[in-house]
C-alpha cells in the first residue's frame, strides 16, 4: 500500500484509509463483533494503516470495536476519532465546550484501549463555542501527550483558518466524491494554501458510485433519511453511475475503483476513507490505489460529471443545519 502525508504535518497514512462506521452503525444491523474484528485485521494485513471512528458511531460501540480489533497492531496504525456531538448523538445537537472535549477524549482513550489518539477531530463545528477555544483545548491535550494531531470535520474555510492560527490543523475530513464536489470551490484551495491534509469520507457517494444501488433501499437502511437516497432521486441520479460505468468498462475496472482512483489523482495529500463490511469490497477498494488515470481520462471524467445535474440534498434537515458555512 502506498503512503501519503497529510499536508505539512508529517503524519503519514496509507493512501486509502478505512471508515469504520459501517461495521456496526449503518444499515441497522452491521457485522457481528467477530466478523468485524476479522475485517479490521484483514485491512491491516493488506496495508491499510489509517482507521476512522467516532464516539457517535453506536454511540460508543464503534470505538470499542476498533480498539479491540486493532489492539495487536496499535503501534503500526493511525486511529482517528471525534468529539463534538451532544451526548454522542448527532441529531441531539453539538457540544464542543472545553470540559466536554476533555471528558470525551478520556472516555475515547478507554474505549479504544490506548493511551493516545493519533488524530482527534471536531465532528461538527459548534457555533456556541469559539473555534479558538476548541483548538486551544486540543493543543493542551497534544502537549499532555493524549493526542498527537488535530483535525476538523465539515468546517468552512473561515473556521479552518481561525483554528489553524491557534493549533495547526493536520487534516480536514469532509464529504467529497464524484457525487459531491463542493469542496473544490473553496475548501481544497484553502487546505493547499495552509498545508493541511484532506480526508474525504463517503468517497463512493455512500455506496451510490459502486453501481449497486438502483432502486429503493431496504427499510432498515440508515441512508433512507438522506434526500439523495429517496427512490425518486436514486432513479434520477443513476445517469451519473451509468456514465461513469461506461468509462470504467473501457479501462477494465469497476465504477467504484474509478471513483476512488479519481479522488486519489486530485492531490497527493488526499487520503479517502471508504468503508465496507465485505472482504471482497475491501480488496476491490485497495486495488484502486494502483490505478493510474491519464490526463485525458481525468478530463473525460470531469467533463462527463460537469454535464450532469444531481438532485437531492446530502443530509436530512436536522443534520444539514449543523454544517459550518
Average pLDDT per consecutive 10 residues, the chain (325 residues; last block may be shorter) = 96 98 76 96 98 96 97 98 96 96 98 98 98 98 98 98 98 98 98 98 96 87 90 96 97 98 98 97 98 97 96 89 88
Q: Report the run of H or E that residue 109 belongs to, with start and end.
A: helix 98-111
Per the CB < 8 A criterion, the answer to whether 105 and 147 are in contact is: yes
pTM of the model: 0.97
Which domains are assigned to the chain? 3-207+263-291 (3.20.20.100)
According to the model, what pLDDT value does residue 34 have?
97
Query: Active-site residue among 57, 121, 149, 176?
Result: 57
Do the Cβ atoms of 139 and 278 come closer than 8 Å? no
Dist CA 14 CA 63 (whole Å): 20
pLDDT value, residue 317: 85
DSSP 217: P
pLDDT at residue number 197:
98
28-54 pLDDT, tens digit per residue, is 567 999 999 999 999 999 999 999 999
Predicted pLDDT of residue 187: 98
Which helix (H) or strand (E) is 256 found in, with range? Answer: helix 255-266
Does 57 qualify as catalytic in the annotation?
Answer: yes
- Distance, in Å, from the CA atom of 304 to the CA atom of 244, rounded to the nearest integer, reads 8
Q: Which long-range contacts (CB under 8 A, 24 or more apart) does 166-170 make?
A: 166/131, 166/132, 166/135, 166/136, 166/139, 167/135, 167/136, 167/138, 167/139, 167/142, 168/9, 169/135, 169/194, 169/196, 170/6, 170/7, 170/9, 170/11, 170/119, 170/196, 170/197
The distance of Cα 99 from the centroid of its chain, to the nearest Å, equals 26
Amino acid at each position: 500500500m502506498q503512503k501519503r502525508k497529510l499536508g505539512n504535518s508529517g503524519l503519514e497514512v496509507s493512501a486509502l484509509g478505512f471508515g469504520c462506521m459501517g461495521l456496526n452503525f449503518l444499515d441497522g444491523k452491521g457485522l457481528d463483533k467477530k466478523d468485524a474484528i476479522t475485517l479490521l485485521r484483514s485491512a491491516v494485513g493488506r496495508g491499510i494503516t489509517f482507521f476512522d471512528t467516532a464516539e457517535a458511531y453506536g454511540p460508543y460501540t464503534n470505538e470499542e470495536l476498533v480498539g479491540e480489533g486493532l489492539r495487536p497492531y496499535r503501534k503500526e496504525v493511525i486511529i482517528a476519532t471525534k468529539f463534538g456531538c451532544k451526548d454522542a448523538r448527532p441529531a441531539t445537537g453539538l457540544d464542543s465546550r472545553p470540559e466536554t472535549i476533555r471528558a470525551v477524549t478520556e472516555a475515547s482513550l478507554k474505549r479504544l484501549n490506548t493511551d493516545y489518539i493519533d488524530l482527534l477531530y471536531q465532528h461538527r463545528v459548534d457555533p456556541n463555542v469559539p473555534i479558538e477555544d476548541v483548538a486551544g483545548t486540543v493543543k493542551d491535550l497534544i502537549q499532555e501527550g493524549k493526542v498527537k494531531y488535530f483535525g476538523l470535520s465539515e468546517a468552512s474555510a473561515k473556521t479552518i483558518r481561525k483554528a489553524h492560527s491557534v493549533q495547526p490543523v493536520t487534516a480536514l475530513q469532509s464529504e467529497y466524491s464524484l457525487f459531491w464536489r463542493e469542496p473544490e470551490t473553496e475548501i481544497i484551495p484553502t487546505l493547499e494554501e495552509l498545508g493541511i491534509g484532506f480526508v474525504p469520507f463517503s468517497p463512493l457517494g455512500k455506496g451510490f458510485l459502486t453501481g449497486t444501488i438502483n432502486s429503493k433501499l431496504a427499510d432498515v437502511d440508515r441512508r433512507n433519511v438522506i434526500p439523495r437516497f429517496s427512490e425518486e432521486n436514486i432513479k434520477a441520479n443513476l445517469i451519473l453511475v451509468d456514465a461513469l460505468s461506461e468509462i470504467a468498462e473501457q479501462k477494465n475496472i469497476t465504477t467504484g475503483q474509478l471513483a476512488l482512483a479519481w479522488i486519489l489523482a486530485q492531490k497527493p495529500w488526499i487520503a479517502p476513507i471508504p468503508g465496507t463490511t465485505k472482504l471482497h469490497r475491501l480488496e476491490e477498494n485497495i486495488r484502486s490505489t494502483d490505478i493510474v488515470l491519464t490526463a485525458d481520462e481525468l478530463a473525460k471524467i470531469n467533463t462527463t460529471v460537469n454535464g450532469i445535474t444531481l438532485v437531492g440534498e446530502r443530509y436530512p434537515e436536522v443534520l444539514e443545519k449543523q454544517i459550518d458555512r
